[in-house]
Structure 1
């Protein structure tokens, strides 16, 4: 029996892209279902009745919500090309940096995007400090986990995907020469 794998997402969501990248890395075929976050489908509301947001991975009819949870589910379900290290300390570090991205870095960039004048300047300072911390963590490494791509790298993947859009909208470049490792 073939497995049924569907992913509800939008093209622009960094959270949905995480699941796309993980499924592609693991060579898992899936049906992509694009959602409109401003006009949520009955399917989305049925599959994620608590948060009512994307992404939602549906595996053999069972929904899994929240992007970091989805990544761990994908990694544990399809074991080829692992994205989580086996060692508990390294696994904890991957989770820490993914959580840092979601709870510190993304909110700080959103603040820069939505604030004006003095508040934007303060938000930009906080964003730069958060980027410095991530840049320092990458010192001497290709990925957050060293030589292998992992969950933290998927979490930070929005940098490559959305920074050019951010520059076009706000008029300034966040990832510049100060952050060569994040830029790479």
Structure 2
């Protein structure tokens, strides 16, 4: 018997989700599990990064296991941090779910408990820093975007659009076309900063 079976997590998850047919966010579900005194979640400290990661991992491990069980009974479960919801049964279920399970890297990640035990505080902090950098680029990158006259957020700018914009600026400000060498150097430096950050 494993820890999820010992603590009754799968049964509790199914009961909570059945009583919330519109679904719950991950945060709401964790709060309900804490209120129900679910042993794996009662001590969860969501303000501590390592505890947050472990809580998230255990929840998603349980959700993917519950989904596998439900799919065997031709039901389904939507799993995302924003919405966790039981779904009604559909037709042609067996073939569809077998294909989904074979091509689901998140399922494979969360079902492998080595990913939980091998992830320490430093790894979690590095992961969070990478996410923060993608969502909120450093000042040098913001200044480089301003230098290039780009107002849209970096994460919504494709590499192709960035290169196209850069080529237009180089063409416009090239000394051979009456532009300034200094301005061209600023453009090149800004582009180097952005491409280094994106790498």
TM-score where L is the length of structure 2 = 0.26
Higher share of residues assigned helix: 2
TM-score where L is the length of structure 1 = 0.27
Compare relative contact order (CA 8 Å, sep 6+) and give the higher one, 1 or 2: 1
Query: Which structure: larger Rg?
Result: 2
Higher share of residues assigned strand: 1
